[in-house]
Structure formats: structure tokens, C-alpha cells
Structure 1
């Protein structure tokens, strides 16, 4: 997805913030997904290669939360937009692009405030 297609600014969190996503998908609990980038409408979640086989575009994710103090107690859903699976032996990050669902406007604004407050040092936005 190009920057022109993005609806909201996104923050590169990789190496800057240790934000983890916790969620349920197909009856499995995932507690180890790293949030690589974040916007008020979605995130890229890095997952181990062995877990990527569980995910496909349009899959729904439930009971999602982040280890971000601004969102303590906030639980929402998501929809997998794409899955990035690097070839075997490739050490690039694999994971899922997720669009948030069932996130109320107030909580979306909390995410936007966090993103906007930390955008100054990132190169993901023109």
C-alpha cells in the first residue's frame, strides 16, 4: 500500500517502542505480536514465520489490545488486510497488516494522539 492510499499518518514503532499486540484468532491466543507500525485505523503486526500460516486476508481478529498505557483496558477487533510471508531463509519481518474494527472514536483518537506526538522522528510520513 502506498503512502497516497493511507487514510491516516502511521508511526514506525520498530526499535523505538516495545508495543505488543494481544488477540485471538481461529480459537488461538496470540500474545507475542510486535507492533511494527501504527495508525489510528490499523497496524502492522510482526509474527514468527510459523504463525503466519494461520492468517489470510479478510480474517477477523478478536479481543485485540496493545501494551500501550494510553490504551489500558481498550479491547477491539481487527481485519487482516494482507499477510507478508518472506521466503524461507529470508530474515525480513513477516506479519499481517490489520485494519481496526469495533474501535470507538474516542479510542481511535487516543491512538492518533500517540502517533502524532511521536511522528517527528520517523521517515514514514512525507
Structure 2
């Protein structure tokens, strides 16, 4: 079975002034529901929420990678698309590739699109 790691920016780290209509409680619930949906769809997935600080985030991911290996990893849009997180995104990609040669990546646009993104990587575009 494919072992999947989903990495996202911890909801406490987001600047909600840039996201009208979204708050920490709502985003937390969406992330949790998205992860539950993965498990309910029988994916072997682990959720890893990281701080915005690149050093802290790298440490968190390295600790997770030291416990198990992953075949597929996704980095959430909240971390990936915000210009202020470019260095963080870059560092996490390099940590993942360095620790898990051959790892493949998927990218979602929201917690609700994670399953579709994983399926694209496992089965090709539909």
C-alpha cells in the first residue's frame, strides 16, 4: 500500500486578514475532515501540520520522516501558493527528496481536493 504524507501549514500560522470568511476554527475543521476522508477512502495517510518558521517546519518533517518512509507527499496550497512561504515550500521539498529518494508529489487546491490529487498520482489523470 502506498504510504502518504500530507503536509500543511498549521491553521494558527495563517494570516486570516488575507482570507475573508475564513477563520482558524473553520480551517481546522476542513483539514480534519479532509484527513478523515482519506482514511475513510482506505488511504494509508498521515497528516503533518507545520509552523511557518522554516527551521521549525523542517524539524517537524524530518522527525516524521525518521519514523517511517513515505511514497507520496503533498504540500497544501496554503503553504505552497503564498509568496511569503516560498522559502518554506522550497526547504520542505528538498527535505522530502533528500530523505526519501523517489518520493512523488501531489498538490491540492484545498483540503477537499486532496483525494483527487492523490488519485491523479496513483492512477494518472482522469
In the superposition, the TM-score normalised over structure 2's length comes to: 0.28
The answer to which structure has the higher helix fraction is 2
Pick 1 or 2: higher relative contact order, CA cutoff 8 A, min separation 6: 2
